[in-house]
Amino acid sequence: AQKVTQAQTEISVVEKEDVTLDCVYETRDTTYYLFWYKQPPSGELVFLIRRNSFDEQNEISGRYSWNFQKSTSSFNFTITASQVVDSAVYFCALSEDNYGQNFVFGPGTRLSVLP
């Protein structure tokens, strides 16, 4: 069965610092999909990125970047020059199929960005 581990329960940084959120996953499938979601205090889950297992290219979107390494089963998320608005709980998630029925979330990392 698939599993997602986010070892960092809480992280605090000062504004403008860079921060990396770790995600390690387990799956027996060769085809799978990885996601990051942001959950601000308002509660909704905001989609950040989807990556399929065949695409190991790193991705950058503004201040956000993702490092996918199949060799270590990791999909880490870095925020550059963090801002107070980045404060939220961040979830890494894994789906083993394209139908999204087996969608497993990690326990989340609470990021606090202090002014």
Partner 1 sequence: GAGVSQSPRYKVAKRGQDVALRCDPISGHVSLFWYQQALGQGPEFLTYFQNEAQLDKSGLPSDRFFAERPEGSVSTLKIQRTQQEDSAVYLCASSQGGRLEGYGYTFGSGTRLTVV
**Between residues 32 and 82, which has the closer beta carbon with respect to partner 1?**
32
**Between residues 64 and 105, which has the closer beta carbon with respect to partner 1?**
105
Which listed range, 11-19, 29-37, 58-66, 71-79, lies at the site for partner 1 (CB under 8 A)? 29-37
Q: From CA 24, how far away is CA 78, in angstroms rounded?
A: 14
Residue 57 makes CB contacts below 8 A (sequence gap 6+) with 68
Local structure of 72: helix, strand or coil: helix
Q: Is 108 in the site for partner 1 (CB under 8 A)?
A: yes
Q: How far is the CB of 31 from partner 1 (least distance, A)?
A: 12
Q: What are phi and psi of 78, to 5 degrees?
A: -115, 130
Residue 70 makes CB contacts below 8 A (sequence gap 6+) with 53, 56
Q: Is 42 in the site for partner 1 (CB under 8 A)?
A: yes
Q: From CA 44, how far away is CA 48, in angstroms rounded?
A: 12
Q: Is 30 in the site for partner 1 (CB under 8 A)?
A: no
Q: Which residues bind partner 1 (CB under 8 A)?
A: 4, 33, 35, 37, 42-47, 50, 91, 93, 95, 98-108
